Amino acid sequence: MSSKKLLNEFTKGIIKENPVLILMVGLCSVLAVSTEVKNAIGMGSAMTFVLLGSNILVSFLRNSIPNKVRIPVFLIIIGSFTTIVDLVMNAYAPAIHKNLGIFIPLIVVNCIIIARAEAFAAKNPVLDSAMDALGIGFGYALVLFVIATIREILGNGTFFGVQLFTGFNPVLIMMLPPGAFITIGLLMAILRSVKK
Amino acid sequence: MKELILLLLATIFVHNFVFARFLGLCPYMGVSKKISDAIGMGLAVIFVLLMASVFSWFLQYAVLNPLHIEYLQTIVFILVIAALVQFVEMVLLKTSPALYKALGIYLPLISTNCIILAVAILNIRENYNLIKTVVFTVGAGLGFTLALILMSSIRERLELADTPKSLKGEPLAFIIAGLIAIAFFGFSGMM
């Protein structure tokens, strides 16, 4: 197995198969938690952890999971990692855990993870699956980070909680749900026109 | 009674599941291209939602709490929902082929619809009793259906409109969702 192939598994998730902007999965959490950069990083790492854990375990067990019950087995694996993240975040980062709220347990129904388990980890060796998970997780976190940066700067005049300008009148609508919808719509349109 | 009506209206309009809480966006973008699909999907969601929330409510208070295994909530709920969707699909296929034909193709999509799990968890987090659980669930389903129907009727017309190429389809759908969300802020004055 060449290192070039592994690198390819990693980079494809960032732009070519970006889960959010190209494949359009996992949208709910992206829009909901992107009000602050801090939340975005918390959510991005939680998601990458679950993705990595479930991809490695599914790939490890891929020959022993009976085909008929594979979806429930995937759900249990993903659910276990989600519960781990939920409990760990609650213990060590209670402020972020509270901000992310219901979207932490909802990682379990995030289509990105089950799609990667089904489409990639169930067919590929462990190392490839781990790289795939890291790439997709990074691509997800990157989009989240970009949207959160735009929304936090325009909607609150801050970046990572630090005040950027004086005398700036924040555009409140960017912090509210409509801001999220409009930002992601414009980002998708920009990516499409660049890709062409 | 007044409290329940307020809860219902608030869930449908003020805290609409799509426009204010960002839940169920994947099926929302996927199935909002035609009005007939939107209605079918909406009905299927309301149907499964009701069964899933009532069932998970009993499960929480009759099994998880007495045994002190609340930390298994996420895993137990998602398995119950997946099994329930499968079960509903089988029962519909045997008993009512007509209904199965109308709702059947939407059912597999529903198990990964985050609204179902979110409503089940929110019912517990908000400490709703059984009646409030039912009202909240119906509100969530109606709100989602309303959002789907609104969006699909706009998108049916947009198909024919001359829009910029890079905005066609989903990007424009998101921007429209944003505009509808702004309009929905008007309802917050209602409460």
Provide φ and ψ at B15, rounded to 5°.
Answer: -105, 50
Nearest alpha carbon to residue B15 among B26, B5, B23:
B23
pLDDT band at A18 (very low <50, low <70, confident <90, very high): confident
* Domains: count for chain A: 1
Position B104 scores a pLDDT of 64
And the tokens for B177? 């969702």
Position B81 scores a pLDDT of 87
What CA–CA distance (Å, rounded) separates A39 from A44? 8
pLDDT band at A68 (very low <50, low <70, confident <90, very high): confident
A22 has a chain B CB within 8 A of its CB: no
Picking from A25, A108, A189, the nearest residue to B167 by CB comes out as: A189
Size of interface A-B (CB pairs under 8 A): 120
Please check whether residue B9 is in contact with residue B3, taking contact to mean a CB–CB distance below 8 angstroms: no
What CA–CA distance (Å, rounded) separates B151 from B34? 9
Is the pLDDT confidence value at A51 over 90? yes
Residue listed under structure tokens 């409009």: A182
Is the pLDDT confidence value at B113 over 80? no
What CA–CA distance (Å, rounded) separates A33 from A27? 10
What CA–CA distance (Å, rounded) separates B99 from A2? 52
A22, A25, A28, A174, best to mutate vs chain B, most B CBs in 10 Å: A28
Instruction: Provide the ipTM.
Output: 0.85
Position A80 scores a pLDDT of 93
Taking the CA of residue B41 and the nearest CA in chain A, the distance in Å comes to 18
Please check whether residue B80 is in contact with residue A76, taking contact to mean a CB–CB distance below 8 angstroms: no
A72–B82 C-beta distance less than 8 A: yes
Is the pLDDT confidence value at A91 over 90? yes
Own/partner contacts of B99-107, CB < 8 Å, gap of 24 or more, are: B102/B40, B102/B43, B103/B40, B103/B43, B103/B44, B103/B47, B105/B40, B106/B31, B106/B40, B106/B41, B106/B44, B106/B45, B107/B44, B107/B48
Taking the CA of residue B19 and the nearest CA in chain A, the distance in Å comes to 7
CB contact burial B95-115 (16+ within 10 A = b; e otherwise): eeeeebebbbebbebbbbbbb
Average pLDDT value for residue range B151-167: 87
Nearest alpha carbon to residue B60 among B128, B141, B134:
B128
Query: How confident is the model over B81-93, as pLDDT tens digits?
Result: 888 888 888 887 8
Enumerate the domain spans of chain B.
Answer: 2-190
Query: How confident is the model over A133-173, as pLDDT tens digits?
Result: 999 999 999 999 999 999 999 988 888 878 877 778 888 88
Bridge partners of A158?
A163
The number of angstroms, rounded, from the C-alpha of B186 to the middle of its chain's C-alpha atoms is 22
Please check whether residue A103 is in contact with residue A64, taking contact to mean a CB–CB distance below 8 angstroms: no
Average pLDDT value for residue range B163-186: 88
pTM tops 0.90: no
Is the pLDDT confidence value at A1 over 60? no
What CA–CA distance (Å, rounded) separates A38 from A78? 24
B121–A185 C-beta distance less than 8 A: no
Taking the CA of residue A48 and the nearest CA in chain B, the distance in Å comes to 18
B118–A178 C-beta distance less than 8 A: no
- Provide the chain A residues 177-196 that lie in CB contact (below 8 A) with chain B: 177-182, 184-186, 188-190, 192-193, 196
Bridge partners of A159?
A162
**Domain of residue A190, residue span:** 3-195
Taking the CA of residue B55 and the nearest CA in chain A, the distance in Å comes to 18
Please check whether residue B145 is in contact with residue A167, taking contact to mean a CB–CB distance below 8 angstroms: no
pLDDT band at A196 (very low <50, low <70, confident <90, very high): low
Nearest alpha carbon to residue B55 among B127, B132, B120:
B120
Mean pLDDT estimate for chain A: 87
B78 interaction partners in chain A (CB closer than 8 Å) = 75, 79, 108-109
